[in-house]
Chains A and B, each alone.
Chain A
Amino acid sequence: MSEEQAANSVNAENAQAQNRKRTFQWLRKVNAKVRTGYSLLAGSILAAVVLSMMFPPKRGKFVKSSAMFFKEMITVLPSVLVLMGLFTVWVKRETVVRFLGQGSGISGILIGIFLGTLPTGPLYIAFPLASMLLRKGARIATVMAFLSAWACIKIPQELMEIQFLGIRFTLLRLTATIVLLIPMVLFAEAMHDRKKEEKRQGDTVQRKNIFN
């Protein structure tokens, strides 16, 4: 019997891997579509040229503010990107996942938020990671906190926020976000589990249905 079970689980694993592969392919297509930097750049240049011809007196202000922003960008952007590179190289994704299960209650959620702020990859890497963690039995609150922090707080990006919006604004926004994330994920967990109780037929079966 164990052989048959083993074969089944291998099949399930394969199907999952396939599913994931397809998802990534779909994403790459979306990315290609969304990130058509070229057309965006060409479109904005065209718009700028047309507008400059239509409203010549406003051209000066356009050139001045573009030049100013270019200067502000170029003084920090290289540093931000280098910091991102350093994180990618020094902080291993496996380490992040290993630490994520630790701590319980609020401390677990805080660990999740902290680990989410480490720039270890784009959001679409985080979804399969989160799904794996849930299947391994991690709390919904922790995983959701991790995912939300991964989405909205990234240490190198925050340097950009400080440069353009000021340190006071940045610190306030981050504090408010972290403080509010905790009740949010706890509430979400309660809502999520409530429905699960209603629908429950068999423990493991139900879990599989929800997360696959």
Chain B
Amino acid sequence: MSITAIIINSIVAVCLALSLLKSREKTLLALKVAFNAAKRIGLEVLALIIIIGIITGFLPNRSVAALIGSERGLLGVVIAAVLGSVLFMPAIIAFPLASTLKSMGASTMAITAFITTLTMIGFVFLPLEIKELGKRFAFLRNGLSFVVAIVIAVIIGVILG
């Protein structure tokens, strides 16, 4: 286990212990919620593990670098941002995917844009957002989120190189 994983697990263990001290029933309920979530995303996680294997195993590194690598510059960032807006996947599995793409030559800027648009912009949810909050609100939020995602990506790309 890496140090990060140990720290994460310890934090959660402390939270779990505190919760258990306060209420047994609520803690059991929380574990039930967690188990249900595991059932819900379990298949996707397994699929992702295989997909990551396929990407790293069979896809040549240069194809990723050519699409969203740093030589692509801002265009690569925009491509990643568009991909992130259109695709729909839980953030939990998006982070491992992003780290794989990064290790294969995707630029930090591109994966930042990908993660940010993936989480902030939901094409799948757009009809619902329009219905509940109006066209103007939904378009403003999603459109501006896209712009902000690119700005965030550029800032982080510049800082982290």
Binding site for B on A (CB under 8 A): 19, 23, 26-27, 30, 34-35, 37-38, 40-41, 43-45, 47-48, 51, 55, 58-59, 61-63, 65-66, 69-70, 72-73, 75-86, 88-90, 123-124, 127-128, 130-131, 134, 140, 144, 147-148, 151-154, 157, 159-165, 167-169, 172-173, 176-177, 180-181, 184, 187-188, 191-192, 195, 210-211
Contact = CB atoms under 8 A, between A and B. Distances in A.
Given A37-B42, A65-B53, A147 B141 contact: yes
Chain B, interface SS category: helix
Given A134-B133, A157-B91, A172-B159, A181 B148 contact: yes
Given A62-B57, A89-B27, 11 more contacts: A63-B57, A73-B49, A75-B1, A147-B141, A151-B119, A154-B91, A161-B115, A163-B2, A169-B108, A173-B116, A176-B155
A153 B95 CA distance: 13
A140 B144 CA distance: 14
A23 B147 CA distance: 29
A90 B125 contact: no
22 contacts: A34-B88, A41-B47, A48-B50, A58-B57, A62-B53, A63-B57, A79-B9, A79-B12, A82-B31, A82-B34, A127-B125, A131-B133, A140-B137, A151-B120, A157-B92, A162-B4, A172-B159, A176-B152, A180-B151, A184-B148, A188-B141, A191-B140
B21 interface: no
Given A88-B30, A159-B8, A35 B99 contact: no
B130 to A, nearest CB: 10
B46 interface: yes
Contact of B140 (A47, A151, A192): A192
A154 B120 CA distance: 11
B112 to A, nearest CB: 6
Given A51-B54, A173-B116, A188-B141, A160 B95 contact: yes
A127 to B, nearest CB: 4
Contact of A35 (B44, B58, B145): B44
- Chain B: number of interface residues, binned into ranges: 35 or more
Ranked 10 nearest A-B pairs via Cβ: A62-B57, A37-B43, A66-B53, A85-B34, A85-B30, A85-B33, A152-B119, A79-B12, A127-B132, A65-B56
Nearest to A187: B144
Contacts of B137: 140, 144, 188, 192, 210
Interface of B: 1-2, 4-5, 8-9, 11-13, 15-16, 19, 26-27, 29-35, 37-38, 40-54, 56-58, 88, 91-92, 95-96, 98-100, 102, 108, 111-112, 115-116, 119-120, 122, 124-125, 127-129, 131-134, 136-137, 140-141, 144-145, 148, 151-152, 155-156, 159-160
